[in-house]
């Protein structure tokens, strides 16, 4: 799907991105939670931090069977990449994943063995009376609000790309391996993945859509607990953080009754 020259992928599936997910599950670094916008306002609602989310991260990792791969499970290409970074004085470690690397995950597990939400959280929720209405379409909610969309700061983005190019050039020079970008510089920023923040959490409705518990402002019984609630880009694959936030929202709903 494309709009205004920006390409992005979208799809609908029960279990969400956990079904075709083939990326690693990382806990977001603390600097993500410390980030502020150009006016000095924190992106995250008050009370959020890496330490606060750690217990939720641990619960999700247990549910999804996330583990760090052993070096004997890393393919040769991964080992060579780690060796190249080591030669350049950079750190590199094994990924934390929830599948065995049989190369089918990006299309959905053909063996139905991957620990997706279909095999973990959803059955547990249904056993407690939750009803999943997958064919349903919500086309109206009362009391419509509005959002303020801020244009991307291209100068800052170009500065970020400059730093990335410099880092790659440094690694290439020290390791003797030439690294090439998979997306030409002129096209950087014209594709998008991990769409976040459409219904971002915030301390007030003037700055976001939902509160720190994922409850939509002025809608007492409506909660958002998917990627759209994440208020800021994480710097790592967002899958684990999305699930951790959903855990916190679910706990809030249960405690609230």
Q: Which residues contact 240 (CB under 8 A, 6 or more apart)?
A: 25, 26, 27, 28, 57, 60, 61, 66
**What's the rounded Cα separation, in Å, for the pair 237 and 60?**
15
Give the model confidence (pLDDT) of 15-44 as tens digits.
777 776 766 889 999 999 998 888 899 999
Note the helical H segments in the chain. Answer: 30-34, 50-64, 76-87, 121-127, 154-175, 239-256
CA 79 to chain CA centroid, nearest Å: 25
Structure confidence at residue 10 (pLDDT): 60
Q: Alpha-carbon distance 253 to 257, whole Å?
A: 6
Q: Distance from CA of residue 51 to its chain's centroid?
A: 18
For β-strands 6-8 and 2-3, DSSP reports them as antiparallel
Q: Give the distance from CA 36 to its chain's centroid.
A: 19
CB 100 within 8 A of CB 69: no
Q: Is 113 left (phi over 0), alpha (psi -120 to 50) or beta?
A: alpha
CB 225 within 8 A of CB 214: yes
Q: Helix, strand, or coil here: 130? A: coil
Query: What pLDDT shows up at residue 145?
Result: 38
Mean pLDDT computed over every residue of the chain? 79
Confidence of residue 231 (pLDDT cuts 50, 70, 90): very high
Q: Are 58 and 51 in contact (CB under 8 A)?
A: no
Query: Which two three-digit tokens encode residue 2?
Result: 């494309």
pLDDT above 80 (res 82)? yes
User: 182 or 215: whose pLDDT is higher?
Assistant: 215
Euclidean distance between CA atoms 85 and 17, whole angstroms: 30
Tokens of 132: 């999943």
pLDDT 10s digits, 162-185? 887 888 788 888 877 777 777 676
The lowest-confidence range among 81-95, 159-173, 174-188, 228-242 is 174-188
What average pLDDT score do residues 200-209 get?
Answer: 93
58 band by pLDDT with thresholds 50, 70 and 90: very high
């Amino acid at each position: 799907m494309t709009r205004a020259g920006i390409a992005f992928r979208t799809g609908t599936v029960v279990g969400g991105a956990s079904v075709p997910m083939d990326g690693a599950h990382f806990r977001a670094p603390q600097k993500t939670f410390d980030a502020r916008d150009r006016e000095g306002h924190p992106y995250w609602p008050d009370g959020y931090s890496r330490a606060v989310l750690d217990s939720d991260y641990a619960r999700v990792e247990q549910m999804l069977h996330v583990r760090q791969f052993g070096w004997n499970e890393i393919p040769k290409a991964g080992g060579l990449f780690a060796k190249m970074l080591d030669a350049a004085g950079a750190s590199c470690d094994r990924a934390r994943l929830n599948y065995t690397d049989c190369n089918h995950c990006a299309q959905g597990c053909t063996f139905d063995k991957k620990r997706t939400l279909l095999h973990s959280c959803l059955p547990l929720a249904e056993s407690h009376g939750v009803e999943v209405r997958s064919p349903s379409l919500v086309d109206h909610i009362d009391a419509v609000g509005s959002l303020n969309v801020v244009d991307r700061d291209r100068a800052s983005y170009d500065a970020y790309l400059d730093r990335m190019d410099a880092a790659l050039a440094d690694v290439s020079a020290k390791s003797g391996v030439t690294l090439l970008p998979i997306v030409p510089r002129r096209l950087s920023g014209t594709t998008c993945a991990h769409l976040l923040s459409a219904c971002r959490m915030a301390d007030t409705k003037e700055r976001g859509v939902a509160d720190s518990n994922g409850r939509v402002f002025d809608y007492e019984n409506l909660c958002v607990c998917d990627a759209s609630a994440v208020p800021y880009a994480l710097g790592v694959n967002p899958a684990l953080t999305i699930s951790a936030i959903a855990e916190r929202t679910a706990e809030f709903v249960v405690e609230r009754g």
